[in-house]
Amino acid sequence: MAASALDAHLASCTDCAAWAAEAARLTRMARLSALDVPDLSDAITRGVVLPAARVARRRWWLRLGLLVSGALQLVIGVPAILGDSIGMSMSTHASHEAAAWNLAIGAAFVAAASLPRRASGLIPLLATFMVVLIGLSARDVAAGQVSAGRLATHCAVLIGLLLLIALDRVERALPPGWPGTKSADEDAHKRLRGVA
């Protein structure tokens, strides 16, 4: 609508003219009045930083647990390389395969403890492994082919998997840019790349 047509309408319509005058008055008041707005930044920051600090502490404990679980898994794998099958009868090559797998799991746990963002990549593999292992172990127990001591060696993998899942959840809960998170590592990498 042209400004001249609007002016002509407002001159002839008292309802619209009253509305336009009230709108202009409210606009002027909003622009000129300075309302006291409380500074909520401390309360907002406290609501973010304290949970993040709590999550970071939980992350530290999960990393430590994963490191211990990885070391335990490595301890389980080393005897198999040296010929001790830890209560299981199998061929030499199958024993070496089991040893390699145990050492790989232990190394993966230690790696995830050192760089927690790796946890998410290990979860699908180890979850599948545990589901299959539990099914096969139940069958072996029913057939009397495995000892309780041998089954106990699988606890380190199960505990490690649970720690990986918890660590992955904690990692996702930390705010972007928190020290040691993926986004902070990427930022540091970009800064270093900019220097070179």
77 has a pLDDT exceeding 80: no
CB distance 169 to 155 below 8 Å:
no
Report how far residue 134's alpha carbon sits from residue 151's, in angstroms, rounded to the nearest whole number. Answer: 10
Task: Give me the pLDDT at residue 189, please.
Answer: 47
Residues 15-56 pLDDT 10s: 999 999 999 998 888 777 767 778 877 777 666 655 777 788
Distance of CA 154 to the CA centre of its chain: 25
Task: Give me the pLDDT at residue 1, please.
Answer: 72
Task: Give me the pLDDT at residue 21, please.
Answer: 92
Residue 188: pLDDT band with limits 50, 70, 90: very low
Q: What share of the chain is helix, strand, coil (3-state, %, to 5)?
A: 80, 0, 20
158 has a pLDDT exceeding 80: yes
For the residues 67-94, what does the mean pLDDT come to? 68
Question: Can you list the pairs that 53-59 forms with residues at least 24 positions away whose Cβ atoms lie under 8 Å?
Answer: 55/170, 55/173, 55/174, 56/174, 56/178, 58/166, 58/170, 59/116, 59/167, 59/170, 59/171, 59/174, 59/180
CB distance 119 to 174 below 8 Å:
no
Return mean pLDDT, the chain: 78
Report how far residue 154's alpha carbon sits from residue 135's, in angstroms, rounded to the nearest whole number. Answer: 13
Burial of 20 (0-12, 13-18, 19+ CB in 10 A): middle
Residue 192: pLDDT band with limits 50, 70, 90: very low
Task: Give me the pLDDT at residue 14, please.
Answer: 92
Residue closest to 119 by CA, chosen among 60, 183, 171, 64: 171
Residue closest to 82 by CA, chosen among 96, 72, 93, 70: 96
Residue 61 burial (CB count, 10 A): 13
Q: In this predicted model, which residue has the larger pLDDT, 54 or 11?
A: 11
175 has a pLDDT exceeding 60: yes
Residues 98-113 pLDDT 10s: 778 888 888 888 888 8
